[in-house]
Structures are given as C-alpha cells and as structure tokens.
Structure 1
Amino acid sequence: MYKVVVLVIRKEGTTRDEFLRSWRSEHPRFVEQMPGILRYRQSPAIQHKSVWPFDGMAELWFASLGDIAAAFKGPEAKALFDHEEHFIGDLKWFVAEEFEVPLKERT
C-alpha cells in the first residue's frame, strides 16, 4: 500500500475557519472522484500559541504507484487542483509506504 502525504499551507488572506470549511466540507468530494483512491484522511493542525509551519496534513492511500500516477493525470485531478487554488497557498508532498511499528506493552 502506498500513500501520498501532503503538508498544506492555507492561502494568504484566508482565515482558519474559511480554510477548514473549504478543506473539510468541499474538498473531499473532489478527492473521492479520483480513480484508485482507497482512503483519505485529513489532519488539521490544532490551534496553538505557536505558529505551525503547516495548517494541516492530508493522506491519500492507493494500492500501487501506477494507481497514484493514473489518479493524478486524469481530469479528476485537474478539478481537484482547480479547487485547491481557492484555499491552499502552498503544499509539500511525497509518496510513502506505511509500516506499522509494534510498540512494547507498557506496564
């Protein structure tokens, strides 16, 4: 299983509430249209006294690297990217394999 990990910075001039409304309420309908996507998770940064370098993280799971390439080449990706221009200022991303690391039982 592979996933695309995206670190998101909201668009300048967009409030946190505006950003979250667009990302959490509107954006999932664009993501779910992408072919081959298996799972989608959003992790908005909590409000904190410190200023975080990112406003959130998204994870998109796919069965193969080929599925990722196909998903991001199609018209569904264009619609997704067009929507992102309304509320995302910048993003950093990478493709990863996920490995569960068992933790020792605590006593």
Structure 2
Amino acid sequence: MIKIVAVISKKPELSREEFLRHWNDDHPAYVRRLPGIRRYRQNPAIDHPKSWPFDGMAELWFDSVQDVKQAYAGAAGADLLAHEELFLSDMQWFISEEVEIDL
C-alpha cells in the first residue's frame, strides 16, 4: 500500500474554525472523488498556546504509485487542488510505504 503524507499550513487570514470547516467539512467530498483512493485520514494539530510549524497532516492511501498519478491527472485531482487553494497557504508532501512495527 502506498500513502501520500502531507503536512499543511492554513492561510493566515483564516481562523482555526474557518480552516477546519474547509478541511474537515468540505474537503472530504473532493478526496472521495479521487479514483483509486483507498483511505483518507486528517490529523489536525491540537489547539494549543504553542505555535506549531503546521496546522495539520493528511494521509491518503492508494494501491500503487501509478494509482496516485492517475488520481491527480484527471478532473477530480484538479478540482481537489483548486479547493485546497481556498484554505491552504502551504503543503509539503511525500509518497511513502507504511511499515507497521509491533509493540
């Protein structure tokens, strides 16, 4: 299984509540339309007096790197990226293979 891991930063003019509304409430509909998506997880940074370097982290699972390429090559990928421009100021990401370690 291949996973996109993305750390994200909200637009500075958005409140935390506005950012989370865009990300938690509106954005999943765009992700669900990606062909080949297997799983999606959002990890918002906790509200804390400390200023975190990122506002959240997202994980998107696919069967292969080719499936990632196909998902973002079409209209659904373009729509998703356009929606992210409404609430993200920055996104850093990479593709990984998850390795689970028994504890």
Q: TM-score, normalised by structure 2?
A: 0.98
- Distance in 1 between residues matched to 2:62 and 2:39, nearest whole Å: 7
Q: Which runs of 5+ in 1 are unaligned?
A: none
Identity of aligned residues (%): 50
- Distance in 2 between residues matched to 1:72 and 1:3, nearest whole Å: 14
Task: Give the aligned residue type for 1:80.
Answer: L
- Distance in 2 between residues matched to 1:85 and 1:49, nearest whole Å: 26
- Which digits, 9 at most, give the CA deviation of each residue in 1:79-106, with x for residues without a partner? 0011111101101000000011011xxx
- Name the Cα RMSD after superposition: 0.5
- Which digits, 9 at most, give the CA deviation of each residue in 1:33-88, with x for residues without a partner? 00000000000000112100000000000001100111111110110011111101
After superposing on structure 2, the runs of 4+ consecutive aligned residues of structure 1 that deviate more than 6 Å are: none
Q: Which position in structure 2 is the counterpart of 1:69?
A: 69
- Distance in 1 between residues matched to 2:86 and 2:62, nearest whole Å: 26
Q: Which position in structure 2 is the counterpart of 1:88?
A: 88
Aligned length: 103
Correspondence list, 1:40-79, <5 A: 40-79=40-79
Q: Which runs of 5+ in 2 are unaligned?
A: none
Larger-Rg structure: 1
- Which digits, 9 at most, give the CA deviation of each residue in 1:7-50, with x for residues without a partner? 01001201100000000000000000000000000000001121
Please identify which structure carries the higher helix content. Answer: 2
- Distance in 2 between residues matched to 1:12 and 1:50, nearest whole Å: 16
Task: Give the aligned residue type for 2:22.
Answer: S
Q: Which position in structure 2 is the counterpart of 1:27?
A: 27
Q: TM-score, normalised by structure 1?
A: 0.94
